Amino acid sequence: MIGKLRQIALYEPLNTLKPLSENLWIVDGPVVKMSLLGVKFPFPTRMTVIRLKTGQLWCHSPTVLTPGLQAELGKLGPVTYLIAPNKLHYVHLPNWRDKYPNSLTWVADGVTERAARHGISIQVDAQLRESEPAPWEDEIEQCHFRGQFMEEVIFFHRPSQTLIVTDLIENFEPNRVPLGLRIPLKLAGNLAPHGKAPLDLRLTFLRNKPQLRQQRQRLLDWSPQRIILAHGALIENDAVENLERAFRWLG
């Protein structure tokens, strides 16, 4: 069973920039082991790169930094901002910071503490706060979802009308995952085209449902045309309808 579970189909080619819109790219990364309903399973990963009007690069949820990817980024502009949107997406930050010592690391609540518990030291320059302006705020908006387990910051790239979600929507295509993984993914609510936050993660947000419904409305008011996800298929059609469906669990 373990061998079969490793045969998840990735979004190749990996570790290379893939343009989605003007000044917007994704990078599909390798498999990581993530917890789903209390069991570790292989998940595909994805980061997002935005070139700001200043020419600086904003890198969301950095994945493996290979020499080839580093060369590609060098042609786009200076890597300036490294973003950890929740406390599950931080592992590669130290390597990126080593390669880009002049970059600035911005993290959601809980990232530094969780990394330290796993023996990873992260040099943090700023916390992502709703109440404090960020240098990119005229191009990228942010919305904070707080639960008992973690906070996730969802971003909206205004020029491309693109929403960037990390773990609050996961959308795995059935034909890309082995049979042994489809059943738990379906039980957790993560199979495309009906992906949403995993069941165990949703449960940690239930106490804050009234506030989170307001945050959901903010996402809907942005009227995104596309949703980039860290795990699974992008949502490039009927984005608003799919967004509303994915957060219907909030009531």
Tokens of 176: 């890309």
Residues written for the chain? 251
pLDDT at 226: 99
* Sequence letter at residue 20: L
Has residue 162 got a pLDDT over 60? Answer: yes
Residue 22's Cβ-count burial label (10 Å; 0-12, 13-18, 19+) is exposed
pLDDT at 36: 65
Reported confidence tier of residue 2, pLDDT bands at 50, 70, 90: very low
Give pLDDT tens digits for 13-31.
999 999 999 999 999 999 9
pLDDT at 37: 62
CA 82/CA 62 separation, integer angstroms: 7
C-alpha dihedral sign at 74, 77, 80, 82? negative
Tokens of 247: 């957060």
Has residue 196 got a pLDDT over 50? Answer: yes
Averaged pLDDT, 98-124? 97
Nearest to 156 by CA among 220, 249, 87: 220
CA 8/CA 25 separation, integer angstroms: 23
CA 88/CA 86 separation, integer angstroms: 6
Reported confidence tier of residue 237, pLDDT bands at 50, 70, 90: very high
CA 116/CA 105 separation, integer angstroms: 16
CA 182/CA 162 separation, integer angstroms: 28
CA 221/CA 180 separation, integer angstroms: 38
Q: Under CATH, to which class is 2-127+135-250 assigned? A: alpha beta
Peptide bond connecting 13 to the previous residue in cis, omega within 30 degrees of 0: yes
Averaged pLDDT, 93-102? 98
Give pLDDT tens digits for 133-152.
999 999 999 999 999 999 99
Residue boundaries of the structural domains of the chain: 2-127+135-250
Reported confidence tier of residue 181, pLDDT bands at 50, 70, 90: confident
Identify the bridge partners of residue 126 per DSSP, sorted by sequence position: 106
Query: Are residues 190 and 172 in contact, defined by beta-carbon separation less than 8 angstroms?
Result: yes
